[in-house]
Structure 1
Amino acid sequence: MPDSPLIRSLRSAVDAAPRDLPLRLHLAQLLLDAGHLDAAVGEVAVALSQAPADPAARALMARAMGGAAPAAAEAPAAAETPAAPPQPQSPRPAGFDWAAAEEEVEGVVPTRFVAPPAPGTPDAPRAPEAPLAADGSGDPGGASAWDVEAPEGLRLADVGGMQEVKDRLEAAFLAPMRNPELRRLYGKSLRGGLLLYGPPGCGKTFIARAVAGELGANFISVSISDVLDMWIGNSERNMHEVFATARRKAPCVVFLDELDALGAKRSRTQHGGLRNTVNQLLTELDGVGDVNEGVFVLAATNVPWDVDLALRRPGRLDRTLLVLPPDRPAREAILRYHLSQRPIASVDLGKLVKITDGFSGADLAHVCESAAESALLDSARTGSVRMIGMADLLAAAKAIRPSTEAWFATARNVAMFANDGGTYDDLLTYLRKNGKL
């Protein structure tokens, strides 16, 4: 049966003012009187979702579902007993089958307050802080408050170029881990620490993830914001929980990002809490009270000369690896990756690779982004879409100054005048080879 003009008008009014409860109930009343039972139930269900305790909406739903409207029950007269004080009426009408009503409107009205939100959802209340477990991990049930990433398909082969870095990683770190028989023969413990240093934006974090993939190990990334806390003792506790989680999830790579912040020289640190955090990190690296078997510690920093010397003592982060700006094959791989999903035409990748010597990976990404922006703005001005050309990329490369230059200006002085024990010999070799001394 088609709707009457009045019902159609009311539908339009309800669509324009969906929160107007009396208007929606009036529409539901007319639908019910006209015999449109399903449509009436739907409108009343929406009204109840907005105002679950509204008596008019409840009464209309009861009528639509075939039950009796709410009515005040007459109290029986009793002359010999005093009248009882009036009791609040139940919001549910007597004789109404609520189970059947819920089945009828299921799927029309979203579930409201039936169960608490699942942990992790936006409306979920924060759980109270759990007491420390027996191992001090802060998690009696064995779950972890730290994000532990499962092994991914990322491998060192996915890192473009940088063959020298890969070879040194293989010799100093990966080969002993892949050969347990040889490791046992030579008494090599399944633990280790490696410090990656070099200019910013050159892929230290990416390499750390690739190492975790090579080992088939879990991965935990830690920065100072994850550990440092304003309350006394919490920073040290957080640092311990990181390593406790890694021991439970072994084999596991713990990646300490920006180590110069997490492990700054204590002689220069005025903040007592940060000094204690460095002390706790030293304790965890030594495995005092715990066994770090299967826990591999990788750290990255742009300023290794600001890292506390105790962290680089043998048995801790005693191996260092210089991660330099990407070489020619690496630059080609990076540029190809960043241009692969963009509309390009007549791009001479070899020429672009040649003129971007000394650029970091982040610089190369910025070149591609700037060239795309230039083509986009040009297309917007002319109203005709054009491809990204070699001229756009050359202009972007010319306008962008390599971000590594400032780093090498500082590192040069450190390598020349503060190279205690040959710590920066590999840096000196690179500077001499490239005429930067």
Structure 2
Amino acid sequence: MSDESPLIRSLRAAVSAAPEDVPLRLHFAELLLAEGRHDEAVAQAAVALQHAPGDEAVRDLMVRAMQLPTAGPPAPAATPSPGTTPPAAPAAAPAPATDGTRPPGFDWDAAEQEVADVVGPRFATDASDRTEAPLTADGSGDPGDAAAWDIDAPGDIRLADVGGMQEVKDRLEAAFLAPMRNPELRKLYGKSLRGGLLLYGPPGCGKTFIARAVAGELGAGFMSVSLSDILDMYIGTSERNVHHIFEAARRQAPCVVFLDELDALGAKRSRSHHSGLRNVVNQLLTELDGINASRNEGVFVLAATNVPWDVDLALRRPGRLDRTLLVLPPDAPAREAILRYHLRERPIESVDLGRIVKVTEDFSGADLAHVCETAAEYALLDSARTGTVRMIGTKDLLNAAKQIKPSSESWFASARNVAMFANDGGTYDDLVAYLKKKRKL
């Protein structure tokens, strides 16, 4: 922060340069605690506990930073490093706020100013802060302009960042990425770029993350589109929104247009009682038919849905979203990678990830995140009750996994009927093969 002491600034830089130096981090946390910065001290203590889970001094600091009552006599404070000034005694813990205001002990206004360049203001304070101009009374305002749509810059996410799921990566490489990367070979073999790719599978299995990874592989911008971005109460505005979305992608090509929840955007027109939704599908068909046009060079269309059987058949016709890819619950390597990711900043001790991976088969990525969150709640509640901070262990994660049922089970129950009775043309052959492998068919 701008008003922090030179010593705090120096120690902050030193900790960043040597993240595994526990004594240094402990000394830094003690100084933060002495200045009443309890939240920052807790964050530093949590990182130190990951590197030294059995260190009593770190545990004691965590208790004091969290302002928990201690179960016995307090452990001695950490010994200051040679040549430095011993920290002052910690200030008395401020009483918690009971009137709905921000708790004392942390300068929230200064923190917001420090990260303003990164996250920007939470609310627009004047007209210049607003990213969209207001609609006029008839709905014909500026949001229809192609320049008003936000496109994320090419990200650093690659397919290598997707844990496991090798079959999905191989299919993406063969059906989509290799032709995109090799225009000369594509021309030699007469491989057309016409059409898009439809990702389908149970919810929470990473379809959006895979789409972002594809954009990263192509070095393309990324534009995520959902029904709320398109549908409008005024006649003709929804169709114009669809057109301007694709126009924005063409202007900033290369760009991946990601149509999220395609079953909502492109539901079967025969079942739709809303003329606006039918018109949206018609406009989508018009835009997709132009994917092979020269003016659309560098615009790549990906879509995702949990229920591909509810998508209008015209959208699945060759030249449109004619390639499908089944994205299943993460396999064992992917589950381990997801668990590591969600436990990376939590205080853990002797966690046997192999056991957790075995008992979480068919769990989606969202389910695994919920397992880690629930296990953290168990440890937090025990710490609050006993006044002694303890680490998250294997038992917490196993208990959490027992309490959570895979969210993919209901999806597979519906998909089984489709695979058995509605697999016309072999559209869902991948799904049939998976269900047979799992003996669910």
What TM-score, normalized by structure 2, do the two folds share?
0.68
Query: Does the C-alpha gap of structure 1 residues 128 and 137 become closer, same or farther in structure 2, counting only changes over 3 Å?
Result: closer
290-299 or 331-340, which deviates more: 290-299
Name the structure 2 match of 1:385: 389
For residue 172 of structure 2, give the secondary structure of its aligned residue in structure 1.
helix
Q: Give distance in 2, aligned partners of 1:185 and 1:290.
A: 19
Task: Give 2:160's match in structure 1, choosing from 142, 157, 160.
Answer: 157
1:230 aligns with 2:242: no
Name the structure 2 match of 1:408: 412
Structure 2 alignment gaps of length 5 or more: 1-120, 137-141
Q: Give distance in 1, aligned partners of 2:326 and 2:424.
A: 16
Name the structure 2 match of 1:256: 259
Q: Give distance in 1, aligned partners of 2:383 and 2:308.
A: 46
Task: Give 1:294's match in structure 2, choosing from 255, 274, 298.
Answer: 298
Is the 1:343–1:388 Cα contact (8 Å) retained in structure 2? yes
Deviations 1:45-71 (A, max 9, x none): xxxxxxxxxxxxxxxxxxxxxxxxxxx
Name the structure 2 match of 1:144: 147
Counterpart of 2:241, as a letter, is: N
Is the 1:194–1:297 Cα contact (8 Å) retained in structure 2? yes
Is the 2:135–2:143 Cα contact (8 Å) retained in structure 1? no
Alignment of 1:185-334 (within 5 A): 185-287=188-290, 291-334=295-338
Name the structure 2 match of 1:174: 177
Is the 1:173–1:192 Cα contact (8 Å) retained in structure 2? no
Name the structure 1 match of 2:52: none
Q: Give distance in 1, aligned partners of 2:134 and 2:347.
A: 52
Name the structure 1 match of 2:125: 122
Counterpart of 1:249, as a letter, is: Q
- C-alpha displacement at 1:123, in angstroms? 1.8
For residue 178 of structure 2, give the secondary structure of its aligned residue in structure 1.
helix
Name the structure 1 match of 2:33: none
Task: Give 1:429's match in structure 2, choosing from 398, 413, 433.
Answer: 433
Bigger Rg, structure 1 or 2: 1
Counterpart of 1:222, as a letter, is: V
1:349 aligns with 2:356: no
For residue 297 of structure 1, give the secondary structure of its aligned residue in structure 2.
strand
Q: Give distance in 2, aligned partners of 1:383 and 1:312.
A: 59
- C-alpha displacement at 1:291, in angstroms? 3.3
Is the 2:222–2:258 Cα contact (8 Å) retained in structure 1? yes
- Deviating beyond 6 angstroms after TM superposition, the runs of 4 or more aligned structure 1 residues are none
- C-alpha displacement at 1:329, in angstroms? 0.4
Q: Give distance in 2, aligned partners of 1:190 and 1:246.
A: 16
Q: Give distance in 1, aligned partners of 2:440 and 2:124.
A: 53
For residue 436 of structure 1, give the secondary structure of its aligned residue in structure 2.
coil
Task: Give 2:376's match in structure 1, choosing from 369, 372, 378.
Answer: 372
Q: Give distance in 2, aligned partners of 1:267 and 1:122.
A: 46
Q: Give distance in 2, aligned partners of 1:341 and 1:423.
A: 42
Q: CA RMSD in A?
A: 2.0
Is the 2:157–2:213 Cα contact (8 Å) retained in structure 1? yes
What TM-score, normalized by structure 1, do the two folds share?
0.69
Counterpart of 1:224, as a letter, is: L
Q: Give distance in 1, aligned partners of 2:335 and 2:254.
A: 32
337-346 or 206-215, which deviates more: 337-346
Name the structure 1 match of 2:402: 398
For residue 247 of structure 2, give the secondary structure of its aligned residue in structure 1.
helix
Deviations 1:138-175 (A, max 9, x none): 54xxx721110110111000000000000000000000
Q: Give distance in 2, aligned partners of 1:171 and 1:290.
A: 23
Q: Give distance in 1, aligned partners of 2:236 and 2:301.
A: 23
- C-alpha displacement at 1:185, in angstroms? 2.1
Q: Give distance in 1, aligned partners of 2:316 and 2:281.
A: 12
- C-alpha displacement at 1:237, in angstroms? 0.2
Is the 1:209–1:219 Cα contact (8 Å) retained in structure 2? yes
For residue 144 of structure 1, give the secondary structure of its aligned residue in structure 2.
helix
Aligned-residue identity in percent: 80
Counterpart of 1:391, as a letter, is: K
Q: Give distance in 2, aligned partners of 1:200 and 1:129.
A: 34
Is the 2:144–2:237 Cα contact (8 Å) retained in structure 1? no
Structure 1 alignment gaps of length 5 or more: 1-117, 131-135
- C-alpha displacement at 1:270, in angstroms? 0.2
Q: Give distance in 2, aligned partners of 1:424 and 1:291.
A: 33
Counterpart of 2:412, as a letter, is: F
Is the 1:195–1:320 Cα contact (8 Å) retained in structure 2? yes
Q: Give distance in 2, aligned partners of 1:252 and 1:307.
A: 24
For residue 296 of structure 1, give the secondary structure of its aligned residue in structure 2.
strand
